[in-house]
């Protein structure tokens, strides 16, 4: 076994991420193609990247709403259901003791979704409802993290429900785009980041998490986000609905 050659200030974070054994194999011994450690390191690296990406993935959407002063094309139902799925996902994985890199983005995305959900309600003139919604979501979060309030069996059942919830959270947005033939204020960055993020998350789940529920959720999330990404590409340069109506009128004239 070779002695460590990488400075401790660089080696220590790597060891914390991928473990001492794989650090010795990949870094100290430069055995870069050892299958098990290479797969593990790729998964950890992707997981960390997904979590970091989750910190900013919805910020463009948030800024777009604020700057435009409009929530046209954005489905309240989609965001509300997604927040519910985020909360349950975080609580389930945390209570199962899974590595934060396998689900951490759900926390950061959940916070951003929470803010956007309340913002949609506020911009729709429903300030009171936004307060009630925020309070209920926070109360739900507290309950799910408290094992004395929600037992393990119930937690697993709730997590199982997030699988169809992920699909249902996308359906209103997918339908809205299909109906309007327009993506409105939907952020392309968020959509594509979500798609590639869920693809990477599927890989990390296969490598690190031995849980069929988590795997099924990752597969369906990728499929749903793939539909949204395809719609974003298809309607990329589509005019706003009123502009389309104006163009159609001109053609008739």
28 found inside a domain: no
Q: How many domains does the chain have?
A: 1
Residue 235 pLDDT greater than 60, yes or no: yes
252 found inside a domain: no
Q: What is the DSSP string of 239-251?
A: PPHHHHHHHHHHH
Average pLDDT, the chain: 86
245 found inside a domain: no
Q: What are phi and psi of 57, to 5 degrees?
A: -60, -35
pLDDT at 142: 96
Taking alpha carbons only, the member of 177, 181, 201, 211 closest to residue 95 is 211
For the segment 208-237, the average pLDDT, to the nearest whole number, is: 89
pLDDT at 185: 73
19 found inside a domain: no
Residue 80 pLDDT greater than 50, yes or no: yes
Tell me the pLDDT band of 250, cut-offs 50, 70 and 90.
Answer: very low
Q: Do residues 99 and 111 lie in contact, with contact meaning Cβ atoms separated by under 8 Å?
A: no
pLDDT at 57: 83
pLDDT at 226: 93
Tell me the HSE value of 130 on the side-chain side, using a 13 A CA sphere.
15
22 found inside a domain: no
7 found inside a domain: no
pLDDT at 242: 63
The two most distant CA atoms of the chain are separated, in Å, by 82
Distance CA 227, CA 62 (A): 22
246 found inside a domain: no
Q: Which structural domain, as residue segments, surrounds residue 131?
A: 39-239
pLDDT in tens, 6-46: 888 888 999 998 989 999 999 988 898 899 999 999 999 98
pLDDT at 252: 44
pLDDT at 129: 93
For the segment 213-226, the average pLDDT, to the nearest whole number, is: 89
pLDDT in tens, 114-136: 999 999 999 888 999 999 999 99
Residue the block writes with tokens 């785009």: 177
Percentage of the residues of the chain whose pLDDT score is greater than 90: 36
Q: Which residue has the higher pLDDT, 250 or 227?
A: 227
Residue 249 pLDDT greater than 70, yes or no: no
29 found inside a domain: no
């Amino acid at each position: 076994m070779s002695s460590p050659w990488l400075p401790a200030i660089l080696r220590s974070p790597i060891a914390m991420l991928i473990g001492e054994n794989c650090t010795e194999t990949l870094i100290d011994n430069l055995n870069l193609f050892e299958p098990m450690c290479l797969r593990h390191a790729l998964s950890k690296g992707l997981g960390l990247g997904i979590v970091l990406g989750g910190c900013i993935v919805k910020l463009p959407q948030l800024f777009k709403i604020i700057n435009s002063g409009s929530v046209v094309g954005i489905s309240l139902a989609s965001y509300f259901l997604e927040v519910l799925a985020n909360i349950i996902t975080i609580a389930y994985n945390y209570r199962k003791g899974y590595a934060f890199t396998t689900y951490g983005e759900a926390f950061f995305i959940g916070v951003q979704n929470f803010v956007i959900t309340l913002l949609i309600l506020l911009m729709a003139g429903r300030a009171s409802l936004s307060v009630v919604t925020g309070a209920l979501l926070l109360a739900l979060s507290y309950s799910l993290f408290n094992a004395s309030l929600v037992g393990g069996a119930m937690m697993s059942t709730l997590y199982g429900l997030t699988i169809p919830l992920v699909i249902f959270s996308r359906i209103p947005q997918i339908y809205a785009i299909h109906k309007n033939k327009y993506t409105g204020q939907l952020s392309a960055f968020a959509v594509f980041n979500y798609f590639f993020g869920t693809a990477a998350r599927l890989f990390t789940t296969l490598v690190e998490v031995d849980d069929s529920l988590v795997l099924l959720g990752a597969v369906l999330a990728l499929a749903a986000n793939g539909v949204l990404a395809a719609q974003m590409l298809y309607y990329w340069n589509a005019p706003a609905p009123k502009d389309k109506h104006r163009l159609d009128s001109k053609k008739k004239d």
